[in-house]
Amino acid sequence: MPPIDPQVLALTELVGDPYVDWDHFDSQAYFNHNYGDLRIDDRRIIEIVSDFFQRAFPANKSGRAIDVGSGANLYPALTMLPYASGVTLFERAFTNREWLENEIAGPRKSWKLFWDAISAGRPAYANISNPWDLLHRRAEVVEGNVFSLAPDQYDMGTMFFVAESITARMDKFEQATRRFIGSLKAGAPFAAAFMRDSSGYIVGDQRFPACSVSEADVRRVLAPVARMLEIETVESNDLRDGYCGMMVATGRKKK
Ligand SMILES: C[S@@+](CC[C@H](N)C(=O)[O-])C[C@H]1O[C@@H](n2cnc3c(N)ncnc32)[C@H](O)[C@@H]1O
């Protein structure tokens, strides 16, 4: 086997997989496939995460929130809206940042289905009369790389389908997950979603890598840095081939 170019190795350490062309991620195709309608799996994730944040945050308390690797998904940010004085939509791909800027200025119709599911029966959310205006005022799209997130910055955070869906390497999955938790302040509540046993995925005409992870992997990585950790498996099998459900972890960063 030829030796690995040290420059490529250094780049891999920094960004995960240097061969993935994130800047041409087809945001519209990803949105259409995943969030053009509200699926049963996302409805269950919404229940888990919105209930958790409502329990975790005392009324009238707010802080800085981050959603890491937002892609073409607004619902993690929406679950943090009542508690966020500002929401950072932290995204590496140029196309996704552009898509997010447009979307928070004029969200597509399907997000109403997501907001209805989030706010139904949850007063902290239902009290918001115009979530779209609030999101537009509070959300900021920021260019960034999960592997360079600064520590101890945010009061709450979400990261959905990122750590296991940006690399095929277990050590990079672990590093991305720990960096996400590291970016939160001690005690900050978080929710993270992961594809279970994924073998990669296609968006538009591009193939993306994935790291096949189980509940045990998620627990092994999060247990040392999180307390009150709960991991729930959500049934899902018809989004595409090559995965076995979804997992949602909630908890607080250890002090
Ligand atoms: C599978 S998508 C998930 C998108 C969205 N969070 C969702 O729930 O559908 C993975 C996202 O991670 C972003 N991403 C890839 N590498 C990243 C990195 N190093 N740092 C931050 N985000 C990254 C991609 O651009 C993409 O938006």
> What are the backbone angles phi and psi of residue 165, rounded to the nearest 5°?
-115, 20
DSSP annotation of 65 reads: E
Ligand 1, residue 75: give the atom nearest the CA. 8
Q: Residue 3 and residue 240: Cα distance in Å, rounded?
A: 36
8 is a domain residue: no
Instruction: Write out the residue range of the structural domain in which residue 49 sits.
Output: 23-253
Whether the Cβ atoms of residue 210 and residue 199 lie closer than 8 Å to each other: yes
4 is a domain residue: no
11 is a domain residue: no
State the CB neighbour count (10 A cutoff) for residue 254.
Answer: 15
Ligand 1, residue 195: give the atom nearest the CA. 1
Sequence-distant (6+) residues with CB within 8 A of 13 are none
The token pair at 203 is 């968006």
Best substitution site from 12, 166, 174, 180 to test ligand 1's pocket, by max atoms within 8 Å of Cβ? 166
- Ligand 1: which residue has its CA nearest to atom 8? 160
> How far does the centroid of ligand 1 lie from the alpha carbon of residue 195, in Å?
13
Nearest to 246 by CA among 102, 58, 44: 44
Q: Count the domains in the chain.
A: 1
CATH label of the domain that carries residue 55: 3.40.50.150
Q: Residue 7 and residue 141: Cα distance in Å, rounded?
A: 30
> What are the backbone angles phi and psi of residue 187, rounded to the nearest 5°?
85, -10
64 is a domain residue: yes
> How far does the centroid of ligand 1 lie from the alpha carbon of residue 179, in Å?
14
12 is a domain residue: no
DSSP 138-157: HEEEEE--GGGPPSS-BSEE
Helix axes 131-138, 111-119, angle to 10 degrees: 100
State CA 243 to chain mean position distance: 18
Nearest to 79 by CA among 101, 57, 102: 57
Strand 201-203 versus strand 206-208 pairing type: antiparallel
Q: Residue 55 and residue 43: Cα distance in Å, rounded?
A: 18
Sequence-distant (6+) residues with CB within 8 A of 104 are 74, 89, 135, 136, 139, 141
Q: Which residues line ligand 1 (CB under 6 A)?
A: 15-16, 22, 25, 34, 68-71, 73, 91-93, 96, 145-147, 160-162, 165-166
5 is a domain residue: no
Per-residue pLDDT of the chain (255 residues; tens, 9 = 90+): 445 555 555 555 445 566 799 999 999 999 999 999 999 999 999 999 999 999 998 777 789 999 999 999 999 999 999 999 999 999 999 999 999 999 999 999 999 999 999 999 999 999 999 999 999 999 999 999 999 999 999 999 999 999 999 999 999 999 999 999 999 999 999 999 999 999 999 999 999 999 999 999 999 999 999 999 999 999 998 888 889 999 999 999 998
> How far does the centroid of ligand 1 lie from the alpha carbon of residue 164, in Å?
10
